[in-house]
């Protein structure tokens, strides 16, 4: 998969992309990323990317021209890649959407700043709008990183063969069961007996029950969508 990111703060991506699973995926050529500075697509001497909002009001709006031109500069080779804007007005990001995006060979993500981007970017350039949740960020960069991290780990070969992303909690529609490691007793708190029993059928049953109980207590609305036997 190839990912293009449009941003005014390219340095923000250095940390996450230079670490861990993502770095390894890039090294193994399972994913490639190109970060484009929106400011590079301005033509005036001050490299202006924002302007006042027509009609007045506080805050600046990102101008359409540099964003259109940045996308057009990468578009010739991009084919049917979705052009995704990170915005609180987008569809709420989920594991289901991560899976959907993981099927594309190419993604283009646009990170806004200030009070937002000119409406013509929404209406005539982007093909998808995604929100990572109902809270306000200062820019779309962290939201883009969240989306990319969730998508990239679904690409074939990115996780080791030992772990399947299809076993993850939100895939099954339930929260994760409790996990323990050594020591068996820590400060007087013991690991549940069944996990030390070596009885794998009983362990599976216990974990499934715990996952359901936890989901019922903390996120009951998830149970409606989970496919559980009667």
Task: Choose, by CB under 6 A, the member of 7, 37, 87, 215 that binds ligand 4HQ.
Answer: 87
Q: Is 115 a catalytic residue?
A: yes
Single out the catalytic residue among 14, 40, 115, 209.
115
CB of 84 to ligand 4HQ, least distance (A): 10
Please report whether residue 88 would count as binding ligand 4HQ according to CB under 6 A: yes
Please report whether residue 60 would count as binding ligand 4HQ according to CB under 6 A: no
Find the part of the chain contacting ligand 4HQ (CB under 6 A) among 39-47, 100-108, 137-145, 166-174.
137-145
CB of 106 to ligand 4HQ, least distance (A): 21
Cβ-contact 3, 16 below 8 angstroms: no
Please report whether residue 7 would count as binding ligand 4HQ according to CB under 6 A: no
Residues 107-136 that bind ligand 4HQ (CB under 6 A): 112-113, 116, 131-133, 135-136
Single out the catalytic residue among 128, 168, 176, 214.
168
Q: Is 4 a catalytic residue?
A: no
Task: Choose, by CB under 6 A, the member of 64, 139, 165, 173 that binds ligand 4HQ.
Answer: 139
Cβ-contact 178, 46 below 8 angstroms: no
Q: Is 207 a catalytic residue?
A: no
Q: Give how far the C-alpha of residue 180 lies from the chain's centroid of Cα atoms, to the nearest Å.
A: 28
Paired tokens of 10: 């390219």
Q: Which is nearer to ligand 4HQ, 54 or 135 (CB)?
A: 135
Q: Which is nearer to ligand 4HQ, 116 or 158 (CB)?
A: 116
Q: Is 88 a catalytic residue?
A: yes
Site of interaction with ligand 4HQ (CB under 6 A): 86-88, 112-113, 116, 131-133, 135-137, 139-140, 143
Catalytic residue numbers, as ranges: 88, 115, 153, 168
């Amino acid at each position: 998969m190839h990912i293009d990111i449009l941003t005014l703060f390219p340095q923000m991506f250095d940390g996450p992309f230079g670490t861990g699973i993502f770095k390894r995926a890039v090294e193994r050529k399972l994913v490639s990323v190109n970060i484009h500075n929106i400011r590079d697509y301005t033509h005036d001497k001050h490299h202006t990317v924002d302007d006042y909002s027509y009609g007045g009001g506080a805050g600046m709006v990102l101008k359409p021209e540099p964003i259109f031109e940045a996308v057009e500069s990468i578009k010739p080779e991009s084919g049917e890649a979705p052009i995704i804007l990170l915005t609180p007005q987008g569809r709420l990001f989920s594991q289901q959407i991560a899976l959907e995006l993981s099927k594309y060979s190419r993604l283009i993500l646009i990170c806004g700043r200030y009070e937002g981007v000119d409406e013509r970017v929404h209406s005539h350039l982007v093909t998808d709008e995604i929100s990572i949740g109902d809270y306000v960020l200062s820019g779309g960069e962290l939201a883009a990183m969240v989306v990319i991290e969730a998508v990239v780990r679904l690409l074939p070969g990115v996780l080791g063969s030992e772990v399947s992303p299809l076993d993850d909690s939100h895939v099954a529609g339930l929260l994760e069961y409790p996990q323990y490691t050594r020591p068996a007793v820590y400060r007087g708190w013991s690991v549940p007996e069944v996990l030390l029993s070596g009885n794998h059928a009983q362990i599976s049953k216990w974990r499934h029950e715990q996952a359901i109980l936890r989901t019922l207590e903390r996120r009951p609305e998830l149970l409606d969508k989970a496919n559980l036997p009667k």
